[in-house]
Chains A and B, each alone.
Chain A
Amino acid sequence: MFAGIAHNLTIYLAMSTVFFVFGLFTILTRRNAVGVFMGVELVLNAAAINFVAFYALKADSAQSSPWLDGQIFSLFIIVLAAIEAAVALAIVLRVFGAKKNIDPDQVMELRG
């Protein structure tokens, strides 16, 4: 079913690496909490691509068809990313209501 994925694995990995690097860059440089969460989503999607690609590689090389572990993991990543985004956005909304600002560095009362 996945014949030849091993041959193309590099393409998938290159794509996930680009996603990961962009995501990490976004997390570290964004001055806006919503922007930071966008970076987090990119990193999560990079991981999901990796899981699917590596699963296909494993299924390619195995004699018997293995447990669908990689595929299922990527589904769980999507579900948990949605849950996390829901909670995070609720909290960001609350911070905006209280401070009129959602820059994690500017919202500063606690420091030391």
Chain B
Amino acid sequence: MRSLFLVSPHMLLCLGAIIVLVGGLWIRNKMFAVVSSIVTLLGAGVLLATMVGHPAQDAFNGLIVFDSLGLFFAIFSVIVVLFGVLLSMESKEIYADRRPEYFSILLALCTGLMFMGVSNHFLMLYLSIETVSILSFTLAGFRRERTASVEASMKYVVYGAMASALMVFGMSLVYGATGHMDLISLREFFSSTATSDLPNVLWAGVILMFAGIGYKVSAAPMHMWTPDVYEGAPTPVTALFSVAPKAAGFALLMRFFITGFSLPVQEGAAAVAQMGSASAISFYTVGPVAWTKLLMISSVFTMFMGNLAALGQFSVKRILAYSSIAHAGYILMGATTQSFEGLTAIIFYLVVYCFMNFGAFWVTSKVEDCFGGDGISEFRGLGSRKPIHAACMAIFLFSLVGLPPFAGFIGKVYLFSAVLAREMYGFALIAALNSVISLFYYVKIIRAMYLDEAEVAMPEGKTSFDSRVSLAFIVLLALPNLVLGIYWEPVMKVAKNALNFFVGM
């Protein structure tokens, strides 16, 4: 019963998905699906909020663990999916008569995302990743009359099926080498067994598992699907893909490597007593697999692949796709530090990233709805035509570059300082170089908006830019980018609280 109580938000979302789908058969009102999904998401959010502050507890024989990290990412997923619902409601790409299916898939996706953050067992890892993947395949191909959308969905499903198959094979190897699938007992097993007694096949197992997790966060070498899927999928779906599964994937990655393959250098409470703060906690690797090296190599490749490939692009959605690959590289950097500081930086960066990336996609969605394309040429002259939209887009892009005084800058400062604190100077230098490269392609969009003459004629009559709701949300997403650049302490505190369970580990 206690376990069932813990998953009540997930069950509510499943119920909501069924109600939206079945109710949509009879209720023809086109706002029905939207309103009931928003109500369900808010309900799940309230249920999750009542769980905040409770000590960590496990459910279903340790399959899932409800701790501060899982709870944080569950709430984060609900908020991001809520943004996704609002953006989809405003977009022309999701037709009103197909709303029930679409929103019921979104709610089910949210359930999967919430399970990704709390899974503590290989079985749950696999099930939650697959739930999110399979629903994502269908969402990517939702505009089935458009061949690009169908093609995106096929590429996604080919890569996704391969990545998950490799991951499951990796899991079987790790299970064979250790006899454990539970992450906590895995760590206990590693710390009580001499490294030389463990077979080398663990390396293969962990690398294959990283292929599956890396695919969800689009880390190299499993990033190839990202640009095609992001470009082909409907823009609201792309906005959601670029934030929600990625954040949940990082939650899963942190839990997998930190809970399964690391131990704190000193017992949490002792370290806090000695150093005076939780930020002094750092971890060391247990078991034979040097996973930080693995993540470091992947991170460097991810950054370069994303940033260099983005330089030659003309589709804004594609540029943002490559930029989201590059950001995955920056965020991976935080995980390689193996310190409390680095992990906090990851969470802080994900929060900031949600605002800047979602905002940029929202503006892109409006441009695509209005002009029927998302190329640089559609953005030309936006600065004089729609000054508020253009100004917000500029804020999002500057924040993505990481220029002060925007929030992206603070996020990068935390990540870089965590890396520098571990004396990985070369690594920090590579990341800084990548930030400079990224400036070129973001500025390309900004220049098109402000310095170039308008190229595509504005359609007559009412356009997608006139929607007040959209404008309000774009401004609402731009504000945190400015505010968090100056006053970020509250978010930092939330990020630290989310990692609180490491203190007692």
Contacts and interface: CB of A to CB of B under 8 A. Distances in A.
B161 interface: yes
Interface centre among B134, B147, B172, B176 (most CB of A within 10 A): B172
A84 B136 CA distance: 12
Given A91-B137, A110-B228, A112-B313, A98 B165 contact: no
Contacts, number: 125
Contacts of B231: 110
A1 interface: no
Contact of A91 (B141, B171, B172): B141
B424 interface: no
Contacts of A91: 137-138, 141, 150, 153-154, 157
A6 to B, nearest CB: 12
Given A33-B154, A54-B175, A88-B161, A69 B181 contact: yes
B452 interface: no
A49 to B, nearest CB: 8
B102 interface: no
Given A87-B157, A95-B151, A112 B123 contact: no
A59 B152 CA distance: 44
Determine chain A's interface SS by DSSP, over half rule.
helix
Nearest to A92: B154
Interface string A64-77: 00010110110011
Contacts of B151: 95, 99, 107-110
Contacts of B153: 91, 94
Contacts of B172: 16, 46-48, 50-51, 54, 73
Range of interface residues on A (Cβ < 8 Å): 35 or more
Range of interface residues on B (Cβ < 8 Å): 35 or more
A110 B154 contact: no
A73 B122 contact: yes
Interface in B147-168: 147-148, 150-155, 157-158, 161-162, 164-166, 168
Contacts of A69: 123, 175, 181
B165 A47 contact: yes
Contacts of B147: 98-99, 109
B227 interface: yes
Contact of B154 (A23, A58, A107, A112): A107
Contacts of B134: 83-84, 87
Interface of A: 16, 20, 23, 27, 33, 36-37, 39-40, 43-44, 46-48, 50-51, 53-54, 57-58, 67, 69-70, 72-73, 76-77, 80, 83-84, 87-88, 91-92, 94-95, 98-99, 102, 104, 107-112
Given A40-B162, A47-B165, A54-B175, 14 more contacts: A27-B165, A36-B158, A36-B162, A37-B161, A40-B165, A47-B168, A50-B172, A69-B175, A73-B175, A84-B134, A91-B153, A98-B150, A110-B155, A110-B232
